[in-house]
Structure 1
């Protein structure tokens, strides 16, 4: 049976719908950076998702070809994630989506090294006849964070974020979003098939002791 990151690491992907504090280890990702409204039908964000999955599935399906990855085991591609910010302000203003800046990512299994990622970019470029030059190997150490499962539309996230902020303060921390530590979302629902009221999104913010 394929290794399922959501089931094996429930503490990272399936938190309860109430805030909790957690230490997040360093992880490697496939990443694409961009800016603008993620809801634009032909926008940069939609294009980034196609690029991410192109590389993710090239790596997953590598055993069917000649390239061999050391330590490979069968796995399910982890969920889509995103780091979000807006220049010149703390937090996120959901009414100004056109000014969003983001890094769209998919987690890489630990056995995948940079050389394997570089092979996948070349392989996907040749086989799919597409430009993967925007895709990068991205390491991120999130560290101490507050997280919560948000259930409902993305535009309702501020309600959950307020609960997270309050919980952090009650426990002696404040949210520490900087140019290197981001508002983080993990998407557990397929927005194309799910009622907006039922969307499940993990929201995670970095913390610093008061």
Structure 2
């Protein structure tokens, strides 16, 4: 049976609807950076997804293509993720989608080294006749966060975010956005095939312990 990261690491991919704290360790990802409204038809975000999945499935199918990657195992390609921010804003402002800056991600299995990644980018480019150079090998340790499962349309996320912030503060933690610390979403549903009210999205925000002098 193929290894499924969602099932094996439920604390990171299948949290409850009630906000909770989690410490996320270092992981490696495929990543494409960009900016602009993700809903723009044919825009940079949609193009980025095509690049990510092209390399992700090249790695998954490498054994069948006759290229042996050391340590390879059969696995389900992990879900799409996204880091989001805007200049001058802590967190994200959902009314300014054109100002979004983002990094789209797909987690890499542990056997994927930089050498294996480089091979996959070359292989995808050769097979598809397309430039995959925007895809990068992205190492990231997220650290301490508050997260929960959001059910419903993406535009309804602010209510879930408020509940997360309230829960974190009640436990003595404050938002901690900054370099390497972003609004993070993990998409467990295919928005092209799923009704908006049934979408499942993990939302994760960085937090830090509130120092005693900060407490009102």
- TM-score (normalised: structure 2): 0.96
Q: What is the match of residue 72 of structure 1?
A: 72
Aligned length: 210
CA distance, structure 2, for counterparts of residue 166 and residue 72 of structure 1: 43
CA distance, structure 2, for counterparts of residue 127 and residue 58 of structure 1: 10
Q: What is the match of residue 99 of structure 2?
A: 99
Uncovered stretches (5+) of structure 1, i.e. residues with no partner: none
CA distance, structure 1, for counterparts of residue 74 and residue 161 of structure 2: 35
Q: What is the match of residue 49 of structure 1?
A: 49
CA distance, structure 2, for counterparts of residue 117 and residue 39 of structure 1: 29
Runs of 4+ in 1 over 2 A off after TM superposition: none
Deviation readout 1:25-46 (Å, 9 max, x if unpaired): 1000000000000000110000
Q: What is the match of residue 213 of structure 2?
A: none
Helix, strand or coil: the match of 1:63? coil
What is the CA-CA distance between 1:66 and the residue it aligns to? 3.0
What is the CA-CA distance between 1:179 and the residue it aligns to? 2.4
Q: What is the match of residue 90 of structure 1?
A: 90
Q: What is the match of residue 201 of structure 1?
A: 201
Q: What is the match of residue 180 of structure 1?
A: 180
What is the CA-CA distance between 1:89 and the residue it aligns to? 1.3
Q: What is the match of residue 13 of structure 1?
A: 13
Helix, strand or coil: the match of 2:63? helix
Q: What is the match of residue 214 of structure 2?
A: none
Q: Output the aligned Cα RMSD.
A: 0.7
CA distance, structure 2, for counterparts of residue 71 and residue 16 of structure 1: 33
- TM-score (normalised: structure 1): 0.99
Uncovered stretches (5+) of structure 2, i.e. residues with no partner: 211-216
Q: What is the match of residue 142 of structure 2?
A: 142
